[in-house]
């Protein structure tokens, strides 16, 4: 992987982590276009995901500071409940998730699911639940949806925000809860792949190593583009206009089907 490729992948990760279009699906597509082996780059994917954690901390620093200052509170319990389904699934399947749900047609089907969710999100009645009114069942429901969103092509942010709106959360609360849920998910992936990340950054001659320069460039690109995307997404949610992204992911699904049967340039 070159530094240029790392920057492009970092930008794509940062933008698509918070826009409801699936960052993992986009990384898989662009890595395919670059001719890179996505299975050997799982740890790089985790690294650029870690880069998108910084914007979440910057934007939601007040909420995070409250959690750190007083960890024994309701929101802490809700975040734990919302994170548990994904933890269980990862412990059972591990990295085989990407292998089980790989291929252009499967990714296209996942994008269709994302498109349907985004289309439906604007149809729900205006929610009134604030942070204080979120129930453990609400958190579990959103957590189960986040677990399913581990599948490449199903947007984590789009599906969890849609699930939150479905459960009656107001727009601001739905967005903040979704983005706060990304923190333990990203940190958990980093812990699981810590040794691999150190290895690929080491510069050791290997097909799995990318070098310190490329790794840092990807991380920085993901951080900057992620901050732009999260600010844009927060404004968009207030307008309840996620449906506009459904047209994009439906078009992407069609492209993947055409690529599978005709072009063969991605997979």
pLDDT at residue number 144: 96
pLDDT at 108 over 50: yes
- Rounded percentage of the chain residues whose pLDDT exceeds 90: 54
Greater confidence (266 vs 194) lies with 266
Using the predicted structure, report yes or no on whether residue 63 has a pLDDT greater than 70. Answer: yes
Greatest mean pLDDT among 3-7, 18-22, 134-138, 241-245 lies in 134-138
Within 10 angstroms of residue 212's Cβ, the number of other Cβ atoms is 12
Give CA–CA dist 256/106, Å, rounded: 9
Residue scoring higher pLDDT (128 or 191): 128
Give the SS3 label for residue 219: helix
- Give residue 124's pLDDT band: very low, low, confident or very high (50, 70, 90): confident
What is residue 209's predicted lDDT score, i.e. its pLDDT? 58
* Residue 95 banded pLDDT, cuts 50, 70, 90: low
What distance in Å separates the CA atoms of residue 214 and residue 87, rounded to the nearest whole number? 29
Alpha-carbon distance of 167 to 164, in angstroms, equals 5
> Does the model's pTM come out above 0.85?
yes
pLDDT of amino acid 207: 44
User: Which pLDDT belongs to residue 97?
Assistant: 66
Which 3 state secondary structure label does DSSP give 129? strand
pLDDT in tens, 199-246: 666 655 444 557 778 888 999 999 999 999 999 998 888 776 788 899
Say which residue, 103 or 22, is predicted with more confidence.
Answer: 22
Which positions ≥6 away from 175 have C-beta within 8 Å? 161, 233, 234, 237
- Model pLDDT, residue 205: 45
pLDDT band for position 166 (cuts 50, 70, 90): very high
C-alpha triplet 106, 107, 109: angle, nearest 5°: 65
Closest CA to 118 of 157, 176, 151: 157
Cβ-based neighbours of 198, under 8 Å, separated by 6 or more: none
Above 80 in pLDDT, residue 189? no
What's the pLDDT at 196?
A: 67
């Amino acid at each position: 992987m070159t530094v240029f490729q790392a920057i492009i992948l970092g930008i794509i990760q940062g933008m698509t982590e918070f826009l409801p279009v699936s960052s993992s699906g986009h990384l898989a597509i662009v890595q395919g276009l670059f001719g890179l082996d996505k299975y050997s780059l799982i740890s790089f994917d985790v690294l650029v995901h870690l880069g998108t954690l910084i914007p979440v901390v910057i934007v939601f620093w007040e909420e995070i500071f409250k959690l750190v200052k007083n960890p024994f509170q309701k929101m802490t319990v809700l975040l734990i409940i919302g994170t548990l389904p994904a933890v269980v699934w990862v412990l059972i399947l591990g990295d085989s998730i990407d292998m089980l749900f790989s291929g252009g047609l499967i990714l296209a089907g996942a994008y269709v699911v994302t498109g349907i969710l985004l289309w439906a999100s604007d149809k729900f009645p205006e929610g009134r639940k604030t942070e204080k009114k979120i129930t453990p069942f609400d958190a579990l429901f959103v957590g189960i949806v986040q677990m399913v969103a581990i599948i490449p092509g199903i947007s984590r942010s789009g599906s969890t925000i849609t699930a939150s709106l479905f459960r009656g959360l107001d727009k601001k609360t739905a967005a903040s809860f979704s983005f706060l849920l990304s923190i333990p998910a990203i940190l958990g992936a980093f812990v699981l792949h810590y040794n691999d990340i150190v290895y690929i950054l080491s510069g050791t001659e290997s097909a799995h190593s990318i070098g310190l320069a490329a790794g840092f460039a990807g991380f920085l690109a993901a951080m900057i583009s992620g901050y732009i995307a999260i600010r844009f997404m927060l404004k968009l949610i207030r307008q309840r206009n996620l449906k506009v992204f459904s047209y994009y992911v439906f078009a992407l699904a069609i492209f993947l089907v055409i690529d599978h049967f005709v072009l063969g340039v991605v997979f």
